A and B are shown apart, each in its own frame.
Chain A
């Protein structure tokens, strides 16, 4: 890394360089990510499709943009490899990425975000912008295709990095398995094509996908652990990172039951505010009434002097 090129006094640069170092000294088989040589705020990454899903064996490339205010502001993610879950070259909506800037926190990192992204892949899109809801067979076919060649994108410099990352991931990722019957498309509401087969719900992924639409509106918070055993890795945080489809209630960081304390927190502070406003108003009204009363009974002057 050309460290001398950057102002090491800049806290964002300092932090990013540390993350690069950390990423290099603790490589993962599930993802690989490096900044461009000429701009450490621009990273390339590839993730491996999560196991036991129709993405298994796929290698999905993307780019990351770190803001100048990093780590106070979240990174942006964008996929480049067609995958059937996210549109390519469109910012991905994760609570950890910048569509929910209020939920990002500086103790997270690019690593945390990539782990979250992997976990997010098999979750149902619930109509979130930038999400795709391809059938499992199509996603499976894209997974196979994703290994053949990395996407063509950007400058030669960037392309070189993409190619290197692809080589690395190929060496780590086992080939795409056959799509087992249990993983094949389940008929989903609004997406039925006549082509769907009836299957047992023995895949965690499918179960998670089916469970969602039945849940109450407010509970449409995606719990990611069931689909992501890999998430409980070295980093202590990912297990709690909750990914939420855009437009749904704010995420809750928990590994327990689905709850909505986040909303409660906001509610309670809203409530407190309202209470104060109400108290303030009441006092103001009382004072006014009192004043009026004093004035009308001719004691106004006395009262004013007295105070």
Chain B
């Protein structure tokens, strides 16, 4: 164990007040840190390639990506092209579903200025808070994440002092200290919903991972960077009462009758909220559309 720490005088006296970070250097003398440094280097590399949330690109950019690729995919992209105008990519860091949902939802509110929807979702957020409390989470562990999401929600509504524009929304979504907090908020909400309705989710989780609900939440929902599956999407959609459409772009179903692109609408089940007008009537088309390619979610914009 190489340990130079003992000889290092405590440096914080001089430096701590203004820059607490400087003392961190103390801790880098350990071989074990190589691993972590390497890990963060990988993250940094990824970060340079693509923002948390990218720019809106015409759908033709997607086709260009597959130019020399599978003809099935190209066919499917042609089909997509008839219905969708643009794509917005998100970083493939395991948080892409939550990040896509975040941006797509906030952007929708920004554009629609749908105050009724904001009031509705705030009710659901309160419900989620109670869920976590009843599950035994200490308030301080999730409070900040909730507060930050509500702050974003208020800021996209115009007419407040701190209302933000579309450009500012993009900047905020790329700011780690905001973006990651909102992602984490969704992870808390998702985990809470899965635990609360563990009887419902258990069979899906068993089919997926052979883990218990508890283990699943601990290992695949709450930690940052863990990828999302239909279980996560169902839980988040139900908890917040927000329908989500996922369009699947994969190489499946290549019958000669012509390609079609599958999609699935996650429509929130009637929870203890009586908000759902969707009962037996035709549910509204989800305003959030995500493009799923195996292992990754991006945002799609309908024509």
Residue positions of A touching B, CB distance < 8 A: 5, 10-11, 14-15, 18-19, 21-22, 36, 38-42, 65, 67-68, 71-72, 76, 78, 87, 89-91, 93, 98-99, 101-109, 129-130, 153-155, 157-158, 234-236, 240, 252-254, 256, 259, 261-262, 264-265, 268-269, 272-273, 276, 279-280, 283-284, 287, 307
Contact = CB atoms under 8 A, between A and B. Distances in A.
Q: Please tell me the size bucket of the interface on B.
A: 35 or more
Interface majority SS (helix, strand, loop, mixed), chain B: helix
Interface stretch (B58-66, B105-113, B205-213, B230-238): B205-213
Contacts of A279: 251
A11 B223 contact: no
B10 A236 contact: no
B281 to A, nearest CB: 37
Contacts of B26: 65
B254 to A, nearest CB: 9
Contacts of B30: 90-91
Contacts of B81: none
Q: Which 10 pairs between the two chains have the least Cβ-Cβ distance? A: A236-B136, A261-B211, A154-B10, A253-B218, A39-B16, A18-B140, A107-B141, A41-B20, A155-B13, A89-B5
Contacts of B214: 240, 253-254
Max chain A C-beta neighbours (<10 A), residue from B16, B70, B181:
B16
Contacts of A40: 20
A99 B32 contact: yes
A101 B211 contact: no
Max chain A C-beta neighbours (<10 A), residue from B10, B20, B39, B223:
B20
Nearest to A131: B1
A157 B190 CA distance: 43
A101 B39 contact: yes
Given A11-B144, A65-B26, A106-B222, 6 more contacts: A36-B12, A71-B141, A106-B184, A155-B10, A253-B219, A283-B70
A256 B3 CA distance: 38
Contact of A280 (B135, B208, B224, B251): B251
B204 interface: no
Contacts of A39: 12, 16-17, 20, 23
B225 interface: yes
Contacts of B44: none
A259 B206 CA distance: 14
B119 interface: no
Contacts of B138: 22, 109, 234-236
Nearest to A265: B209
Nearest to B148: A11
Nearest to A6: B20
Interface in B186-216: 188, 208-212, 214-216
B36 interface: yes
Nearest to B32: A99
Contacts of A11: 144, 148, 177, 181
Given A76-B27, A87-B1, A129 B20 contact: no
Contacts of B140: 15, 18-19, 21-22, 109
15 contacts: A36-B12, A78-B5, A89-B3, A90-B3, A98-B36, A103-B223, A105-B222, A105-B223, A106-B224, A109-B138, A253-B214, A254-B214, A262-B211, A268-B210, A269-B227
A253 B195 CA distance: 15
B248 interface: no
Contacts of B292: none
A5 B140 CA distance: 21
A261 B71 CA distance: 38
B209 A72 contact: no
A115 B123 CA distance: 35
